[in-house]
Amino acid sequence: MILGLGGVVIDRSLIVPDIPGWDTVLHALHYSTHQGGMVATALAASAKLGVSSEFIGAIGDDDAGGFIVRKFIENRVSCARIIVKEGEPSPCSICLVNEKSGARTIIHYRGLQEQNSLDTDIDLTEKRYLHLDGYWPETAVNTAKKAKEAGIIVTLDPSSTLIGSPWFDELLDLVDYIVPGYGFATGYTGKSDIDEMCRMIYRPSMTAVIITWGYRGVFCYDGSDVVNYPGFNVDVVDTTGAGDVFHGAFLVGLHRGLSLSDNCVFGNAAAALKCRSVGGQGGIPTQDEVFRLLYDNGYTFFNPE
């Protein structure tokens, strides 16, 4: 139903009291290992929220790659078409999480994901949605073209690697929804004003630009007005992956037929609940948990059944 083409990593998460300086030793308060990656985490969310999902990308033939595959299986995300690169290490991220605020800093090793192409033609049979992050940009563009021809909805959570990429402008004309984080939007546009950023990113072929911005929620521009849908208040432990969970929930909302405004609220609720646990995928909520948070905050647009 949902096909995700993009990046996946092994995340090493450390909860720390502060960011260490050079030539110092800082003792972490907690350590854990997770599967991460923008598209991979979005699909973990969409699968947990009840929509069948498949990942296509590449990993190395190391222990980290084996861990990544096991996590896909645990998350009930199909990875039968994942490509294993012999002799190459799988991508890795070190996630430093502030013990008080839950804010995170990520040190990312892209490795094999710096390549432009997966050197494969991707069959989109029985897929209704294609979710991209800009990794494997040549393959992403070619697959998005096929998706548009087939009437498949294309969503993009753009990686910072797309800033300055020769593939990005072509990709922009092929997506229905682009959902960047605030950091990407400022880096790409050079602006700090949300309205300006939305209007600069928007293309007439798009349904909407949706900028995610932490506890502020999301800012949605459909070609007419920019509307803010604020985030939900929860006890924050770790914000890692919250934006990715929003993307997965948003895809589920598209599948469920939610309006654009209701879908932004639905995605915000799922993203907020994720922040209760360490790791990008550790706190992904169930559909019932999202419905409960929505109900407790006065929203009744969803169907609990």
**pLDDT tens, N- to C-terminus, the chain (305 residues):** 999 999 999 989 899 999 888 999 999 999 989 899 999 999 999 999 999 999 999 999 999 999 999 999 999 999 999 999 999 999 999 989 899 888 888 898 988 999 999 999 999 999 999 999 999 999 999 999 999 999 999 999 999 989 999 999 999 999 999 999 999 999 999 999 999 999 999 999 999 999 999 889 999 999 999 999 999 988 888 888 899 999 999 999 999 999 999 999 999 999 999 998 877 787 899 999 999 999 999 998 876 44
pLDDT of residue 303: 64
pLDDT of residue 90: 94
d(CA 112, CA 273): 32
Structure tokens at 27: 């003792």
Q: In the CATH hierarchy, which top-level class contains the domain 2-296?
A: alpha beta
| Three-class secondary structure of residue 134 per DSSP | coil
Those residues with Cβ within 8 angstroms of residue 168's Cβ, 6 or more apart along the chain or in another chain: 134, 137, 158, 162
pLDDT of residue 305: 47
Structure tokens at 8: 């996946």
Structure tokens at 153: 């909805």
Global pTM value: 0.91
d(CA 53, CA 40): 10
